[in-house]
Amino acid sequence: MKYKVRILPSAWEDLKMIQDYYSIQFDVRIATKVSNSILNTIERLEDFPDSGSLTPDPWLNEQGYRMVISKKHVAIYRKIDDTIYIYHIADTQTEYTKLFY
């Protein structure tokens, strides 16, 4: 079964901030490469929705959230019925679990 992936506005905003950061720090080519890598990782959830791992936060895990890592970034998602909802995308070095509190 192929799942639908829905990237929520909060995650699109996160991705835009990541792109902006890489555009300023490096260049547009690098920013595009990073965002494409993140989106490709997220896209794989269509076929492998359980490929992500538990988050470092017990409360998020209890709520059914999981995470998938793309190099230096993490996407937090939850599977509901036949849809994967992407809630946030963040740098793995930040306290990204605090985005939910």
Please check whether residue 57 lies inside any domain of the structure: yes
Cα 62-68-72 angle, rounded to 5 deg: 125
Q: Is 53 helix (H, G, I), strand (E, B) or coil?
A: strand
Instruction: Specify if 101 maps to a domain.
Output: no
Is 80 part of any domain? yes
CATH of the domain at 12: 3.30.2310.20
**Residue 97 within a domain:** no
Is the pTM above the cut of 0.85?
Answer: yes
Q: What is the pLDDT of residue 57?
A: 93
Q: What is the pLDDT of residues 22-77, one digit of tens each?
A: 999 999 999 999 999 999 999 999 999 989 999 999 999 999 999 999 999 999 99
pLDDT tens digit sequence for 62-90: 999 999 999 999 999 999 999 999 999 99
Question: Pairing mode, if any, of strands 65-70 and 73-80?
Answer: antiparallel
Q: Is position 96 within any domain?
A: no
**What is the tally of structural domains in the chain?**
1
- Could you list the residue range(s) of the whole structural domain that residue 76 is in? 4-91
